[in-house]
Amino acid sequence: MARANIVVLGGSFAGLTAAFDLKRNLRGSADVTVIARDDRFVFIPSLIWVVPGWRTEQQVTFRLQPALAAWSIRFVKARADRIDPERRTVVTDSGEFTYDYLVIATGPQFDWEAVPGLGPHGGYTQSICSLPHALDAAMAWREFLKEPGPVVLGATQLASCFGAEYEMVFNIDRALREAGVRDRAPVTFITSEPYLGHFGIGGMRGGQKMLEIFFKLLNIEPIVSVATEEVTPTEVRLSGGRTVPYKYAIIIPPFKGVEAIRNSPGLGDARGFVPVNDRYQHPAFDRIYAAGVAVAVKPPEPTPVPSGVPKTGYMSEVMAKVAAHNIVADITGGEPKELPFAQIRALCIMDAGQQGVILLSDHIFRPRKYELLIPGPWSHWAKLAFEKYFMWKMFGGHTNLP
């Protein structure tokens, strides 16, 4: 049997999980190549701690090349520009790469253009969506503390990364208090969610009440079910005519598919996300699989202000494992595996400064047999421990571990 040529686009949670699982299970019967724009893995959940200076760039990253080379996986630092499914070719700024199987794990592109004045590129707000954004936000934070003022945090319409917005608001509140300036920095939280704790998944039992209590105790004003219409240098203009003044703001934008998908007719949906079946296989191109944020997922229910569905690191890992399993099965004649997105477990540690909440449920979407929210300081320590464990696990390629 000829060696299979497998290309993985992306070097984050989904991409690395797929690459390591494929190599582990196929060994010498497949060549695996990872193509990514960044030559580092970034533990994105810890970017909330980069902003106030509790984490450094070195603590939340590692280089991809040595991690992959240890498993005889080729790494190419390049930008994918287009995919030609008929020729089974990925076109990049470093040349063309053919494949027998392709795993799209590119993550998103940030849609700053959705709201005038939004974002760090030509806009007025900060971001925690990437490491460079978080480092810029940290620099702006240090300047802000010299002359503090109102703070606005949250997410726009069509945003989907809701866990990070809650973590950010609670950690910024903690940082303001530790700096002794909380009394000079009123905090407003804006979100497209219909209520606190909706999370883009229809909420979890007890979540709304718990968050409302947290916000009240910390004197954080929430504004829910709202669209962001424009950001000026001094205020955020919301639907319904309300404006919120700010001196420092971090607002999560909508996500869309990366340019390589949008440049490839027939590959993605209207926003550039990749449709998949329950095997995480493209419905029209059976040699193309996708995992992570790149996957198209329909919200479980309509909301008054459109909200996206979160695709966390854990969900991305699960999707990548299913995709890798099915590629291996196709090559070796094994049994395929199906797992509808809605039936992936919800598993998240949400940090809230020196407190936090562990979220657990058997399914992301309802109906669910169980759904648990476990608050307490152990959540904060659990996330710290998980960060170190996960960085070790991914650098060593131990994606067979929990």
How many Cα atoms sit within 13 Å of 214 on the Cβ side? 26
- Catalytically annotated residue among 30, 47, 159, 161: 161
- Catalytically annotated residue among 348, 350, 359, 373: 348
Residue 348 annotated as catalytic? yes
Residue 129 annotated as catalytic? no
Q: For residue 19, count CB atoms less than 10 angstroms from its CB and return exposed for 0-12, middle for 13-18, buried for 19 or more.
A: buried
Buried b (16+ CB within 10 A) or exposed e, 52-74: beebeeeebbeebbebbeeeebe
DSSP string for 213-271: HHHHHHTEEEE-S--EEEE-SSEEEEGGG-EEE-SEEEEE--EE--HHHHTSTTTS-TT
**Rounded Cα–Cα distance for residues 102 and 5 (Å):** 9
Q: How many residues does the chain have?
A: 402
Q: For residue 173, count CB atoms less than 10 angstroms from its CB and return exposed for 0-12, middle for 13-18, buried for 19 or more.
A: buried
Give the three-class secondary structure for 273. Answer: coil
Query: Rounded to the nearest 10 degrees, how much is the dihedral formed by the CA atoms of 38, 126, 388, 396?
Result: -10
**Rounded Cα–Cα distance for residues 155 and 149 (Å):** 20
Residues marked as catalytic? 161, 348
